Chains A and B, each alone.
Chain A
Amino acid sequence: MFYRRAGIRHTRYQDERQLFPLGFDRGLIIAVILVLLAAPFLFDRLYVSGYLLPWLIWTSAALGLNLLMGWSGQIHLGYGAVMGIGAYGSVHLVRLGVPLEIAMIAGGLLSATIGTMFGGAALRMKGIYLAMATLAMQYVVDFVISHSSVISGGSLATLQVPPVRFLGIPLQGDLPTYYLAFGVCFVITLFMLNVRRTSFGRALAALREKDYAAQILGISTFRYKLLAFWVSSFIGGVVGSLLAVTYLRAISPDQFHIELSIQILAMIIVGGLGSVLGPFFGTALILFAPIVLNNLLGAAAGTFGLSLPIDLRAHLPLMAYGALVIGFLLYEPLGLAKIYANFRNYLLVWPFRHAQR
């Protein structure tokens, strides 16, 4: 990772405003995208559908929540419910024969509507009260989904996703599902990268720093808070339907419980609030740290002849989430993205100090 900044000579304003001003960054991004595109042919099937696919999906969800929590500074403890609404909405539409492309958008719109209703109800309050309202939303939505058999799908309370086609390609096997998830994640990432350069993104940042100061500057806090809830819930709904169609294949209410909300919250805190790169790191750590830890413990138990109680290993993910969240909040509140940026800045000071600012 050698950041050669030397030799950047901008002659036009457009050059300086581009997303990745460093040539090395551009190269790195293209390389990562190429590796991800070629992944189904490079890596084992298990790694693609068991690790890369959930990583892309959960990262998209974390990006959506990061828009709300990182950019506009509103707390949301019920993002799992938002995703659940999108998933159930779109799966029901697909079962009724609506094409998947429309069903995903419709699921997003449904999530956005309901999410904005709950968020809008809480706009008179902030901080703690907003946290409580969104937590209550999670429980109410869970209850409604699991207690109306029309939504949850009868006595077994699982809803099968029928075979679907996306843009004419049947979503069967690993390749189409992986590329669909990749496409959605790519679009959301691109949106998040660009949103901070728009007036909307700047208004959200102003809102986060001090809401009444933003109001004095002429930013309608009410409007932009609602918009932040709307956009974030829309992304949540679309990702929820993506999750249902490509990964879960059969949805049941308990997949969208508070655990999912906490998992995504942990991802953006570990990754870094208000960063686009952060959720990618955070999702990787939160999804894979328990697996790696479990394997390590299993290996250690095998080598040293220890026998770990099964309960301990079953509760390892929760302990890991909690410890990671506490550790990052105490020692690096801006998360892995900040650690990455620090490392990068270090390299720019030494050994590449010829680099120009």
Chain B
Amino acid sequence: MDWILLAELSTNGVFVGLMYALVSLGIVLIYKTSGTANLAQGAIAMTGGYVTWALATLVGVPIWLAIPAALVIMFGFGLLMERIALRRMIGQPVIMTIMLTLGVEIMLRGLLPGVFGAAVKRLDIGLPQQPLFVGELLLNRSTLIGGSISLLLILLSLFFFNSRFGVVMRAVADDQTASWSVGIRVERAIAVAWGLAAVSATAAGVLWGSTQGVDWSLSLLLIKALAIAILGGLDSIPGVLVAGVIVGVAESLATGVLDPLVGGGSRDVVAAVIILVTLLLKPHGLFGRHHIERV
């Protein structure tokens, strides 16, 4: 095993991991504010990709306008989903909310390919496809740019939590009843969290769609996003960054190192193994808060 290959795999892995982390950001946002696991995040990313593609190709909007338009539409979609479906689930057992988001995932995964056709859609947002050579390393230019955009967006969300509304959302995350008593509109904070989660998923869907095309397989980002969220601790945004890099590098190394040994496909199982190992060794993740259950 030569070092050049390892370095190349790890560098590409870092940026791929950052692109995964963007999907995971939404899961963490929602878990932080409402304590619900959003299993529909992968499907929402796919929906975002499809909406952008539909705007750019079917409607004919130029791509620089189609992406912001899709982000706005998906923000509305997130708000709507919270208002119609998730709000009715308040007070129900956690099993019900998980199943509801899974139901949304299944429906979106059937609806969009069903309506727009199952063939892979090309989404060209102007990312250069030719590889980049840094010294002896061969880097994938589109994941490089995609990863950098993701990093920027995640850092932006860190700053967002210091704004006025961000403080409101942190208060809701900390204690819903207490924030209610000081006049914070908890429902609105949760709704905005869903909207922002849909926005981050859409950004990820567009970035991934431009590298691998838009089709139903974008919803498979869910398992990777879950692995990142669990490893990072489910309620920590810096955790998403660190865990994203770890998952990306682990996956990339597994593809390069393990695949020749086991005959391919180890990429898909890395995320599952990371989830299991994290839950066994450190269930609250790297940066997660310990929840104390009072009787």
Contacts and interface: CB of A to CB of B under 8 A. Distances in A.
Interface of A: 69, 73, 75, 77, 118, 121-122, 124-125, 127-129, 131-133, 135-140, 142-143, 146-147, 212-213, 216, 262, 265-266, 269, 273, 309, 311-312, 314-323, 325-326, 329-330, 333
A23 to B, nearest CB: 36
B283 interface: yes
A132 B226 contact: yes
Interface string B100-112: 1011111111110
A318 B263 contact: no
A121 B279 contact: yes
Interface of B: 31, 37, 39, 85, 88-89, 92-96, 98-100, 102-111, 113-115, 117-118, 223, 226, 230, 234, 262-263, 265-266, 268-269, 271-273, 275-276, 279-280, 283, 293, 295
Contact of B95 (A69, A212, A326): A69
B88 A330 contact: yes
Given A125-B283, A129-B279, A325 B103 contact: yes
B246 to A, nearest CB: 16
Contact of A133 (B111, B275, B295): B275
Contacts of B226: 132, 135
A157 B268 CA distance: 18
A290 B283 CA distance: 39
A136 B92 contact: no
Contacts of B275: 132-133, 135-136
A142 B92 CA distance: 32
A325 B162 CA distance: 38
A139 B113 contact: no
B95 A139 contact: no
A125 B279 contact: yes
A147 B267 CA distance: 12
Nearest to B223: A139
B252 to A, nearest CB: 17
Nearest to A139: B272
Contact of A262 (B93, B102, B269): B102
A320 B106 CA distance: 9
Given A69-B95, A131-B39, A142-B269, 9 more contacts: A129-B230, A136-B271, A265-B99, A265-B102, A311-B113, A316-B114, A318-B106, A321-B103, A322-B109
B92 A322 contact: no
Contacts of B115: 312
B223 A322 contact: no
B102 A325 contact: yes
A147 B92 contact: no
Contact of B85 (A128, A140, A273, A330): A330
A315 B263 contact: no
Contacts of B96: 329, 333
21 contacts: A69-B95, A77-B102, A124-B283, A128-B98, A131-B37, A133-B279, A135-B223, A135-B272, A136-B276, A142-B269, A143-B269, A213-B295, A266-B103, A269-B99, A319-B111, A320-B110, A322-B111, A325-B106, A326-B85, A329-B89, A330-B89
Contacts of B109: 318, 322
B6 to A, nearest CB: 23
A321 to B, nearest CB: 5
A75 B265 contact: no
A136 B293 contact: no
A143 B265 contact: yes
Contacts of B95: 69, 73, 75, 127, 273
Nearest to B110: A318
B107 A323 contact: yes
B105 A121 contact: no
Contacts of A128: 31, 37, 94, 98, 234
Contacts of B283: 124-125, 129
Contact of B118 (A143, A262, A311): A311
B240 to A, nearest CB: 15
Contacts of B104: 322, 326
Given A125-B279, A133-B275, A143-B265, A322 B118 contact: no
A80 B171 CA distance: 40
A140 B99 contact: no
Contacts of A311: 113-114, 117-118
Nearest to A124: B283
Nearest to A318: B110
Of the listed residues A122, A132, A314, the one surrounded by the most CB atoms of chain B closer than 10 A to its CB is A132
Nearest to B112: A315
Contact of A309 (B94, B102, B107, B117): B117
B113 A315 contact: yes
Contacts of A127: 94-95, 98
A315 B114 contact: yes
Nearest to B37: A128
Contacts of A139: 223, 268-269, 271-272
